[in-house]
Structure 1
Amino acid sequence: MARGEEVLTLIADLLDLEKNLIFRTLGATVIGDRLFCSERHSQNYQSPEPIRDVEPLYAAGPPEHLGRIAAAWFEEITSRPVISPLPVGGHSFVPPGTALPPRHRWVRNAPRTQ
């Protein structure tokens, strides 16, 4: 980072309201003309190792362009269905249209039932 470069970071916690916990933290950081979006640790906001479910995104360009890219990235991630093993366990994203695996529950964005 060069001296005088402005840094902007947006953090979003994805919540499991039934269990009252954060199951994923996402972040987008703009430094000058560069953007980095990734999962983040829920307490120190650093990128965890290894990355679990969210492919990091890198981009460069003018601020307006980076803002649109970051917004689209957040929208795509937050629209993914999320499941959790029963009775307790971690959370994972699944592709849209995936059936609920045995001994799991929908946490967020479950498919609509007819």
Structure 2
Amino acid sequence: MQTNILYIGRDTEITVVMNRLLNARPEWKGICVCTDDEAIEICQNQEIDLVLLGNGIDAACEEVLRAKLTGLKPDLKIIQHYGGGSGLLYGEIMTALSQDF
């Protein structure tokens, strides 16, 4: 079964890299966006297992975004990811998927 991961970040170049990293693993399907509106639309229309919040999202925007996303899907797992190598990314994702939030 494929795990659908939504990455939300404000830096276009980093978002492109995250898209490549997430989609390099056959067990993951990465969807990467730069705006909250895109993220909300995706959560409304697709099954998402995990949301990664990337760089550039300030605390106020993060709070609103978390509220909107969990309002759509109360059991949605949302974690912060601000960089690091692909090994760190893998560890963060696997840890988040194995935990109950």
TM, length-normalised to structure 2: 0.35
Say which structure is richer in helix.
2
Say which structure is richer in strand.
1
TM, length-normalised to structure 1: 0.31
Greater gyration radius: 1
